[in-house]
Amino acid sequence: MYILRSEHSFDSAHFLAGYEGKCSNIHGHRWRVVVEVMEEKLKSGGQLDGMVVDFGDLKNDLKEIVDFHDHKLIIEMGTMKKHLVELLKEEGFKIMEVNFRPTAENFSKYFYDYITQKGYKVKRAEVYETPTNCAIYEGER
């Protein structure tokens, strides 16, 4: 099995509604997203000869989704008063509402699913909240 690894990072704020402790407050991370894609066989012939996929394509696809989250406040839908969210948006703050609790675990599956849907055979996606804390999602294959 051949495995390629690519990574990209984004800076964003979040909070964990219902969490007791400092993470219930809005705070930020430099989120590091690492994905691995795999293939049993390398491409044969042409531009992609001897490759799993072109690193450039994987890098661009990962960057596109990761950059979309950069410098935003990411909140779980329904966990902040609607009018407060609207006011913040009116003030020009970038708020991104997601349908999951924004934990490293949920983000790892979220990025796994996105890259899979882009057509890659994804082995795993890792999301680092801090340099030493990381969640991993691996598909069942």
Ligand X SMILES: Nc1nc2c(c(=O)[nH]1)N=C([C@H](O)[C@H](O)COP(=O)(O)OP(=O)(O)OP(=O)(O)O)CN2
d(CA 60, CA 58): 5
Hey, what are 139's tokens? 């598909």
d(CA 34, CA 21): 28
Pattern 77-116, binding to ligand X, x per CB under 6 A?
A: --------------------------xxx-----------
Shortest spacing between CB 12 and ligand X, in angstroms: 11
Select 15 or 120, whichever has its Cβ closest to ligand X: 15
Q: How far is CA 97 from CA 68, 72, 112, in A?
A: 13, 10, 19
Size of the site for ligand X (CB under 6 A): 9
Active site residue 134: no
Select 97 or 105, whichever has its Cβ closest to ligand X: 105
Closest by CA to 106, choosing from 141, 136, 67, is 136
29 annotated among ligand-binding-site residues: yes
30 binds ligand X (CB under 6 A): no
133 binds ligand X (CB under 6 A): yes
Burial of 115 (0-12, 13-18, 19+ CB in 10 A): buried
Give the residue numbers of the binding site for Zn(2+): 14, 27, 29
Report, as residue numbers or ranges, the catalytic residues: 23, 71, 129
